[in-house]
Structure 1
């Protein structure tokens, strides 16, 4: 076998790592003593092992590393002679084991990194799904508002502010055929804690008769401020009062915020 083929066969790396049998070690040692190119290649491989060990020296004690380095490190371009071939092989085996452990540690680190990336992606996916759900809800809400406003069969009743809140206003969208009622409460101030707006369908004659058709619950969370309330079929006017949460059996006239005649 030619020198180049012998070097490229990989046997010298195994020799340096201490992975050959004793007879194979003897053969490589004999070849290196006879052939300067093979000797130089062994020295090159030893340097690589030393550099690898140096770069990861924090994983071993300083004193232990220096002892190993003293055995392997090149000084003035020459290899330090070893006490025995078996001792030299032992250190090379240790270096190979260290390289293997470093490789395993690196792979473990990459695995953890990949796991963390997967967790991050899952969190981002969850947030994106929440955003999509929220957007769909807003789109449905917007579609509802547009349908109510654009429905030409609806009778629009404007409610003006009263003494307790002169600047307040609201709109009633009432479909007399289906009796469905929607309230646009965007002109009302946010109710205080523990209070809710209550909607009243009013009969004016022969005497004022109020009938509750619902409350505007979750006022703060309703971005469009369009509320669906109960049906009514015989309203002559609509009013909105501020009542305790859950509503009141009769309207509190002192808290009448808006009023409007059909």
Structure 2
């Protein structure tokens, strides 16, 4: 079995949410014991949920971004992602099921809080199992108010999931934007970006296509120190695409196209 395909299938997110059958839970549990990368992915999913509301909301500045037009026009109208590897296109559970899967994850987190006392009574397994259960207890013991706020966000059917594909400077890069147009809230998962070199910082751009214009959504100043690489950004723009470039510390007035790391278009919603 290809472990990367298994991880990208979406079954781990449903496992965390408690939405699988008994047989499916046993299968996932067995995979966690056999493959450390599967266990690590489950732990990251749980930690990422609580981190969705952390970060800063930088100011916007409208700039000229005409050179990117050619890249946007060459994007695949079916995938809405430019130069994205096939493996990245298989992140189907959020891009296909959208808000419904987010609801399941939110409910799973709320359930884990209610079951905290039961979890504490069951820590008597092997060292690997013990570490996994301790992680669940840490999540369950988190502030209930923050959990409820997160659940409310994930339940919103207007939350769009926009994958950003790696570009020529670093084809292996990837990121994902979760955007609620009604509340102007945007959550950027930048885990697929490499650590920037000293003196450099990632800058996020909102793009409109007609006319082609960028709006700076700010820099990811805490990228290196943020373990989960999830950032909250205010975005009141009529965005039709998003891009991430590597810029000098403090950001740039216009994007450096030679340092374009990730780019993706927003699918039309009826």
TM-score (norm 1): 0.43
Q: Which has the higher helix share?
A: 1
Q: Which has the higher contact order (CA 8 A, sep 6+)?
A: 2
Normalised by the length of structure 2, the TM-score is 0.42
Larger Rg belongs to = 1
